[in-house]
Amino acid sequence: MDAAAPDGSGCRMDWSLESFFKEFDGADYRQFKNAVAEGLRALASRIEAEGRLEPATFSGWQAIIETMEDISRGLSHLSTYLGCLTAADAANEAYRREEAALTHLRSEMTKLESALVHAIGEARHDHFEAFLKRDALRDAEYALRRWREKSHKMMSLAEEDLAAELEVDGIAAWSRLYDTVSGKLTFRWVRPDGTEETVSMSRRRSMLGHPDRAVRRAVFEGGNEAWAGVEDTCAAALNAIAGARLTLVHRRGQKDFLEPATFEHRIGPAALEALHTALLDRAEVTRRLLRCKARQLGEDAVAWYDLEAPTPGIGSGETVSLAWEEGVAMVESALRRAYPELGAFVREAVEKRWIDYTPRSGKRPGGFCTTSTFNGESRIFMTFDGAMGDVITLAHELGHAWHSRLLQQARPLARSYPMTLAEAASTFAEMVFIEGMLENPEVPESEKRRMIDSQVRQATGFLLDVPMRFEFERNFYRAREEGEVSVSELKAMMVAAQRRLFGDTLAHGGEDRMFWASKLHFYIAEVPFYNFPYTVGFLLSRALFARFQKEGAGFLATYEAFLRRTGSASCETLGREVLGVDLESPAFWAETVESLAPLAERYEALFGG
């Protein structure tokens, strides 16, 4: 049953948000928000009065850290709630205004975190090590050591406070502008019979998975025409976000624009470079899949609008659109057989109405999972148009929610995990789902062909598309260091990046010149380089899944231990201590990429090599 919007507007949402607040901007909401704001003010006074971190002040600083964690739970709760509202109804001005107001509270929290990092950083080494030995802080050691490391690349406290305040009307404002523009954007779709329809941009990605190439091309061209109409706005936002980040990198004395990203995503530059080297060296492994697809299309190479499409010859009924209930049943059934606890969690998420899935006007494009650390509940946002890709997206986002469930009992400082490790959990869930479908004798062969086809699209996405985004964004930031980058330059950079990763498997003229504008990830304020973590997660998940296939259900305890440590370890540490591999070696990444060879052989056997 659809739920009325919390503010009483006409927008009908699938998910229930009543366990967060009874109504938007109601008495319970205002009381909660005011308590968070007052907590921030009180904590600021305590930090200012506490003095240096030394044995005489250990108890006071411990209490400050614990209070900060409590306030972070409240901010997480507000952020999750408002993020859900603004995604589900992007045109609602009241939601957007309140989300903008929340950035002020986040700014205050950022300033307090800077003060804490500064205090940790200026403490004597012996005092800091003694502080870590306090029983109440043992499970926060990793986070506190990262704070100390971060303190060495900070501006003065006054400058950090100013940066936090300016972010509200700077990076965050540009990001909100993009969300508003994309949420309201529609495009003209000319059907094969010549009739036209105005379609919300949130539906475009699902429609690009249509089996009819003429439909895909019309959707692609109509969408890009709409994006071209706002290209100057998008370019201004992208330049502003990057410019602000580069200024902060320079002022903080960081080595380069990738340093904040590698620190945030907890993977060192050596491991990242090893990954990118292996991807370029082994690109032909993945390109092989696209060459087979192109042959099935009757083309020498694919166009951008072919990447998400099913392979021709996939079997009878290829135009069937799945109902939501059918998609849910597929995910739940497959996961229950392979991973019973995760399968049961799917049913819980559906019955408690944690998912917003209906296509509708005004809904923001994309999908995400968000979790409140205050009540421990997750919410999944997606647009379900009945395609198999939508079913896989559901499994993906449920993997994120399950990850959060496993960390529910951890303290906030040990719950915060990077995207690199988050994507390992979500992609592992996808792989368990697909393998569960393939091994089920009751699943028709035609459906299994669809699953293999989906695996191929997933592999080309993570190993060609996502690295292409990293290639583009890295080149863009290099150019932005010299000045603003024009719309024409952005288009040229995007085409060049696509050509480098996809090679001759992408038809000349078949590139997506507007992808820099249409891809939400380039405009996310909170996380720089929202791309390579997907590839890291995908390849780590393949390594984890290989262990699962080898060891069976007994490995799930190790897998869950891996997820529970993601809030308190780096990628390299988990790779070494759980998987026994060296992430700084290109050989590990290359070997994992090459593990796709059996998939390529199976794909070619099914669809014609």
Q: Tell me, yes or no, whether 532 lies in a domain.
A: no
Q: Tell me, yes or no, whether 499 lies in a domain.
A: no
Q: Tell me, yes or no, whether 99 lies in a domain.
A: yes
339-359, pLDDT tens digit by residue? 999 999 999 999 999 999 999
Strand partners, 3: 13
69-126, pLDDT tens digit by residue? 999 999 999 999 999 999 999 889 999 999 989 989 998 999 999 999 999 999 999 9
Q: Tell me, yes or no, whether 54 lies in a domain.
A: yes
Give 475 or 419, the one with higher predicted confidence. 475
The boundaries of the domain holding residue 86 are: 3-169
Q: Tell me, yes or no, whether 94 lies in a domain.
A: yes
Closest CA to 549 of 541, 561, 537: 541
Residue with tokens 């530059």: 269
- We report the CATH number of the domain holding residue 76 as 1.20.140.70
CB contact at 8 A, 96 and 390:
no
Number of domains present in the structure of the chain: 1
Q: What per-residue confidence (pLDDT) applies to 165?
A: 87
Which pTM value belongs to this model? 0.83
263-316, pLDDT tens digit by residue? 999 999 999 999 999 999 999 999 999 999 999 999 999 999 999 988 987 754
The continuous run of DSSP H or E covering 12 comes out as strand 12-13
Beta strands at 378-381 and 355-356: parallel, antiparallel or unpaired:
parallel
Residue 524 exposed, middle or buried by CB count within 10 Å (0-12, 13-18, 19+): middle
- Sign of the dihedral defined by the CA atoms of residues 322, 326, 331, 337, in that order: negative
Q: Tell me, yes or no, whether 114 lies in a domain.
A: yes
Mean model confidence pLDDT for the chain: 92
Q: Tell me, yes or no, whether 473 lies in a domain.
A: no
How does residue 318 score in pLDDT terms, banded at 50, 70 and 90?
very low
Cα separation, 269 vs 463, in Å, equals: 19
Q: Tell me, yes or no, whether 405 lies in a domain.
A: no
Torsion-angle region of 581 (φ positive above 0: left; ψ -120 to 50: alpha; else: beta):
beta
501-513, pLDDT tens digit by residue? 999 999 999 999 9
**Residues 6 or more apart from 393 whose CB is under 8 A from it?**
367, 382
